[in-house]
A = this chain, B = another copy of it.
């Protein structure tokens, strides 16, 4: 399964800065960072609930914004890129 995870974490407080780092760190376990707050993921269906739960536990539900887009298989290898954007070197399902 291919997913795109994007987030806006409110970093106006030190706690927010910490949440931002935690969200990024969790996402690094599931996929590849392609922008500051955008991760591409190739993962197994069984991994999704844990990712969702972990992110839910980290974020401030009244301040932070996380969106998970399910992509059609093959999207990540054909994403349109402008400027310095590059294809991310995914290699099948990411193993945690």
Contacts and interface: CB of A to CB of B under 8 A. Distances in A.
Interface of A: 4, 6-8, 34-38, 52, 55-56, 59-72, 75, 78-85
Contacts of A34: 65, 67
A75 B69 CA distance: 7
B71 A84 contact: no
Contacts of A63: 83-84
Nearest to A55: B82
A92 B62 CA distance: 29
Contact of A37 (B37, B64, B85): B37
B80 A64 contact: no
Given A8-B36, A84-B61, A67 B79 contact: yes
Contacts of A55: 82
Contacts of A64: 82-84
B62 A84 contact: yes
Contact of A79 (B69, B72, B81): B69
